[in-house]
Chains A and B, each alone.
Chain A
């Protein structure tokens, strides 16, 4: 089932599947670690559902260098993200922000769980008691008859 994505990826991505190049790695391991973490949350805009950390498209490389540049310049993680969102729109974030336009997206899991839970609970509570449906007149009469026969027999 991955054919399509692979096809698209293959068309868009030239060069080998080799994302972060040796030359890009920052000297400071702590800073590099932050850069990697930020990169994993940023979309390679020309790829299909790939983070810039995974992609070897030229644009992804440019963005990776940009992230590292900002970090070296002393930006916090949030500042780097804000900078990129300003430049490329929210599309660049793989985890969308919480807002009116993503309300349904973020709340669905909780809503489904809560409503499903309530639904299952009430369905379990209001189940008919084992006694089941009441007998109608005819059945009641038949039952009474049988019972009286029983009594008279004993």
Chain B
């Protein structure tokens, strides 16, 4: 019954979205406040309906209701509780439901947002948001209904794909979707501005927190996915330039550019048209990512042709919204007034360069991901575009961007002085260069990329630090005063510095992988395998039987320079229901580096294959991403982004009694 109610709530949400789309749009045209006021109310109602629907599906999973097809296909009564919950979005239908849930959530938050959004802007924005919701609700209801029943009900479920039975992957999709779908708000605001034909710094100030929040979540989501791939897939890679990864990287690159261009728009009232276009492109890339992942077109062009219903539907949505918004842009953008002049050498100019490089990097990922598909469709020729292509083209675009980053961050608005700015960074240059040379000398004969990359990362971290220090301290300032000044700097300044330092940390982590060591061997119990300064000894192999899998666990003792450091356990699992094997890597964290081991098949002589890695500083890759997201979060708490929110009362009237 609850399942049917969930299904019905989804249909109700569709009807309400239609109202949320049509009425406010008309209201904004007719300048009728009553009609415009329909938008926030319906937005909240749509969210409530979809949330109910989502809970109904979750309930079916928790109860192992095997009369629901989706539950049968993706759950099992013996599955741990957390994976019963994450199983809801661990499949196509459920993940699309999560998608619209987050879409509606954002709409509802815009609706109840206490930040004073002008009424027309809010009405138009929620109408555009509703249009996206309508398209995706139709998609779910017609092609991907998660509430389909099976008669007769199954006795047992087919279990969730074992690779997805992992805490990392339980939270990865929600994080990623909040990021992905969050850009829909920037998109809706951009379309609303175009519909209204008006755009100004207030618009940028309203939109920026949404973009920043979505960006921070997307950063976390991508980092989480990368760490998951690192420890779950068992060969220690952390980024594969896989089309599915690229699908999330493209909106991230465009979103990063957008976060920067809205700064220019807010502070200097410039780059308006470009910012609008970027907001449209960023969400378009999110839609493209959804299409790529959900249509099966990546597996092969043929699988798309075999089961074209879903793929064609999302392709239709993609064309409708990308085409529609770009047409709207072409029609209305020329009417937008340009403002804010600046010299090429200025903070604005630096941010234009930032946008140029990020957009080019994004275009590179785009063409690399889609070219093989297009070529095959057009000529039938099959080529592969993989990691070597992306590393070759992406790095030359990112390195100059990173080299310019501290300079751009230090340049003055409007008209800057390049040499003067470079002078302010001379200590940063000096220390980074010196550190690079020292590392070079100590690792002579080793990979060149590592010291260079770490030097670059250090330069970014120090450059960010320098930005804070130079704003708070000058020669002769007592430290206490400088500290007070630093604390008094706007949160956005701190956020910027922290996020950029995070970029530096990630760069250091990536560069240090060049120092990684790998060893392969087959070991019997008691034997050792050496890789660089580290060594493992196979202690024992334990067979285990758990609720929904069997495994063989190898216990390895890790030695560093002959000293015992600890033990790690690496497993080979077999998930019984699906008969699917997985590898669980064994990881011992030492400082910021990790000793990483995975086991392979047993050899005929009774020994077992062991792959051992030492990955120095590898954790910095994800710590850096986390720091980037934290920087974004701190920036979000900046005072000026909270305008319109009622200020909390500093003192309570003496006789006031707190509400019970």
Q: Which A residues form the contact surface with B (CB < 8 A)?
A: 1-8, 10, 14-23, 25, 40-41, 43, 48-51, 54, 56, 89-96, 101-102, 104-106, 108-109, 112-113, 116-117, 120-121, 124, 127-128, 130
Most buried by B among A1, A51, A91, A106: A1
Given A48-B299, A91-B384, A109-B360, do A15 and B598 touch, yes or no (CB 8 Å)? no
Q: Quick one: which of B163, B356, B385 contacts A120, CB cutoff 8 A?
A: B356
Does B508 sit within 8 A of A, measured CB to CB? no
Does B328 sit within 8 A of A, measured CB to CB? no
Asked if A109 and B397 sit within 8 Å, CB to CB, the answer is yes
Residue on B with the closest CB to A93? B384
Asked if A18 and B293 sit within 8 Å, CB to CB, the answer is no
Q: How far is the CA of A96 from the CA of B162 in the complex (A)?
A: 34
B599 contacts which chain A residues (CB < 8 A)?
16, 18
Q: How far is the CA of A14 from the CA of B356 in the complex (A)?
A: 44
Q: How far is the CA of A10 from the CA of B338 in the complex (A)?
A: 53
Asked if A17 and B388 sit within 8 Å, CB to CB, the answer is no
Q: How far is the CA of A112 from the CA of B293 in the complex (A)?
A: 26
A23 contacts which chain B residues (CB < 8 A)?
522, 603
Does B371 sit within 8 A of A, measured CB to CB? yes
Cβ distance B582 to chain A, nearest Cβ, rounded Å: 8
Asked if B344 and A96 sit within 8 Å, CB to CB, the answer is no
Asked if B389 and A18 sit within 8 Å, CB to CB, the answer is no
B248 contacts which chain A residues (CB < 8 A)?
1
A96 contacts which chain B residues (CB < 8 A)?
383-385, 389
Q: How far is the CA of A148 from the CA of B556 in the complex (A)?
A: 94
B385-411 interface (Cβ within 8 A of A): 385-389, 392-393, 397
Asked if A94 and B388 sit within 8 Å, CB to CB, the answer is yes
B interface bracket (residues with beta carbon within 8 Å of A): 35 or more
Q: Quick one: which of A90, A108, A113 contacts B383, CB cutoff 8 A?
A: A90
Asked if B388 and A6 sit within 8 Å, CB to CB, the answer is no
Q: Quick one: which of B235, B243, B371, B392 contacts A104, CB cutoff 8 A?
A: B371
Leading 3 A-B pairs by shortest Cβ distance: A94-B386, A18-B600, A17-B234
Asked if A113 and B360 sit within 8 Å, CB to CB, the answer is yes
Cβ distance A96 to chain B, nearest Cβ, rounded Å: 5
B386 contacts which chain A residues (CB < 8 A)?
41, 43, 49, 51, 94-95
Cβ distance B636 to chain A, nearest Cβ, rounded Å: 24
B383 contacts which chain A residues (CB < 8 A)?
90-91, 93, 96, 101-102
Give 1 or 0 for each of B589-623: 1 = CB within 8 Å of chain A CB. Answer: 00000000011110100000101000000000000
Does B278 sit within 8 A of A, measured CB to CB? no
B334-390 interface (Cβ within 8 A of A): 338, 341-342, 344, 349, 352, 356-357, 359-360, 363-364, 367-368, 371, 375, 379, 381-389
Most buried by B among A15, A17, A116: A17
Asked if B609 and A6 sit within 8 Å, CB to CB, the answer is no
Does B213 sit within 8 A of A, measured CB to CB? no
Does B244 sit within 8 A of A, measured CB to CB? yes
Asked if B520 and A1 sit within 8 Å, CB to CB, the answer is no
Q: How far is the CA of A102 from the CA of B248 in the complex (A)?
A: 24
Asked if A18 and B581 sit within 8 Å, CB to CB, the answer is no
Asked if B341 and A127 sit within 8 Å, CB to CB, the answer is yes
Q: Which B residues form the contact surface with A (CB < 8 A)?
A: 90-91, 95, 161-164, 169, 172-173, 176, 225, 228-229, 233-235, 237, 240-245, 247-248, 289, 293, 296, 298-299, 338, 341-342, 344, 349, 352, 356-357, 359-360, 363-364, 367-368, 371, 375, 379, 381-389, 392-393, 397, 520-522, 572, 580-583, 598-601, 603, 609, 611
Q: How far is the CA of A101 from the CA of B367 in the complex (A)?
A: 13
15 more CB-based (< 8 A) A-B contacts, given A2-B172, A89-B382, A105-B367: A1-B172, A1-B247, A4-B293, A8-B299, A16-B582, A17-B583, A18-B235, A18-B583, A18-B611, A22-B522, A43-B384, A90-B383, A90-B384, A91-B384, A105-B389
Residue on B with the closest CB to A97? B383
Q: How far is the CA of A117 from the CA of B603 in the complex (A)?
A: 58
A128 contacts which chain B residues (CB < 8 A)?
338
Q: How far is the CA of A121 from the CA of B381 in the complex (A)?
A: 38
Cβ distance A65 to chain B, nearest Cβ, rounded Å: 15
Asked if A3 and B360 sit within 8 Å, CB to CB, the answer is no
Given A49-B243, A94-B388, A109-B393, do A1 and B173 touch, yes or no (CB 8 Å)? yes
Q: How far is the CA of A47 from the CA of B566 in the complex (A)?
A: 36
Asked if B389 and A112 sit within 8 Å, CB to CB, the answer is no
Asked if A124 and B344 sit within 8 Å, CB to CB, the answer is yes
A109 contacts which chain B residues (CB < 8 A)?
360, 363-364, 367, 393, 397
Residue on B with the closest CB to A48? B299
Sample 9 A-B pairs with CB under 8 A, ordered by A number.
A2-B225, A2-B245, A3-B293, A16-B581, A17-B234, A20-B520, A48-B299, A101-B375, A124-B352
Asked if A5 and B244 sit within 8 Å, CB to CB, the answer is yes
Residue on B with the closest CB to A8? B299
Asked if A6 and B163 sit within 8 Å, CB to CB, the answer is yes
Cβ distance A30 to chain B, nearest Cβ, rounded Å: 14
Cβ distance A23 to chain B, nearest Cβ, rounded Å: 8
B600 contacts which chain A residues (CB < 8 A)?
16, 18, 21-22, 56
B522 contacts which chain A residues (CB < 8 A)?
22-23
A49 contacts which chain B residues (CB < 8 A)?
240-243, 384, 386
Residue on B with the closest CB to A102? B383
Cβ distance A121 to chain B, nearest Cβ, rounded Å: 7
Asked if A2 and B359 sit within 8 Å, CB to CB, the answer is no
Most buried by A among B341, B342, B360: B360
Given A18-B583, A89-B382, do A95 and B609 touch, yes or no (CB 8 Å)? no
Cβ distance A32 to chain B, nearest Cβ, rounded Å: 10
